[in-house]
Structure 1
Amino acid sequence: MEFNERLRYLIDCEEIKIKDLAPKLCLSASTLSNYAQGIREPDYDTLRRIADYFGVSIDYLLGHKTPAEDDERQLLARYRSFTPSQKRLLLDQAELITRYKVKVND
């Protein structure tokens, strides 16, 4: 996947409009749209802001990924959609899995 495809994918997963996201990234909507369409590419500082916003690495944005990163990104996207009490429940369950070294047959 190219940068613009990954950006578009992240925007779609977040269910946010370019015009609403652009100010959060200190960009104009037209500039962000150009990135998402593959017309332009961002500089390093912009890449960092995009990566920070979506909770992904710059490597991921540039196409360098490991298979686990997609799972991690999906988990993060779902986590962000949870209510505070749902987030606490998920973190509590993760703590139990870690503490008791719960094994699951993969």
Structure 2
Amino acid sequence: MYRNRALFMNFNERLRYLIDCEEIKLKDLAPKLCLSASTLSNYAQGIREPDYDTLRRIADYFGVSIDYLLGHEPPAVDDERQLLTCYRSFTPSQKRFLLDQAALIKRYKIRLDD
């Protein structure tokens, strides 16, 4: 299973996974992280490793922890990643609506067919 394999992933493999999940090209992502495309490519290939500030920018962009990037916690399951991707595309009012619905489900312990 992927979760077990994730415990042994290197930084560059986790970075590649996150980039693949976002379906973004390195050349488009690099400026968002204040990096050159070649530097980001070196990180993704495992040729170089980022400094702390770069790790923080990468973690913030993908919504993961630095611990995750460094292999100290398992990745979010695919459902979580899909929810995060959808959430990021919503307007502020859509985000508030979604959070309100989640609060209701949690508060009233609503169970749906699993």
Whether the aligned pair in 2 keeps the contact of 1:4 and 1:37 (CA below 8 Å) is: yes
Taking the TM superposition and a 5 Å limit, the aligned residue runs for 1:1-106 are 1-66=9-74, 69-71=75-77, 72-81=80-89, 83-84=90-91, 87-103=95-111
Whether the aligned pair in 2 keeps the contact of 1:56 and 1:73 (CA below 8 Å) is: no
Greater relative contact order: 1 or 2 (C-alpha under 8 angstroms, separation 6 or more)?
Answer: 2
Q: CA deviation at 1:86?
A: 5.8
Which residue of 1 is the match for residue 6 of structure 2? none
Mapped partners of 2:44, 2:85: distance in 1: 19
Q: CA deviation at 1:95?
A: 1.8
Q: How many pairs does the alignment contain?
A: 103
Letter in 2 for 1:13: C
Q: What CA RMSD, in Å, does the superposition of the two structures yield over aligned residues?
A: 2.1
Q: SS state of the match for residue 98, structure 1?
A: helix
Runs of 4+ in 1 over 2 A off after TM superposition: 71-75, 77-81, 83-93, 101-106
Mapped partners of 1:73, 1:60: distance in 2: 14
The TM-score, its normalising length taken from structure 2, stands at 0.76
Percent identity reads 83
The TM-score, its normalising length taken from structure 1, stands at 0.81
Q: CA deviation at 1:50?
A: 0.2
Q: CA deviation at 1:77?
A: 2.9
Mapped partners of 1:73, 1:42: distance in 2: 23
Structure 1 spans left out of the alignment, 5+ residues: none
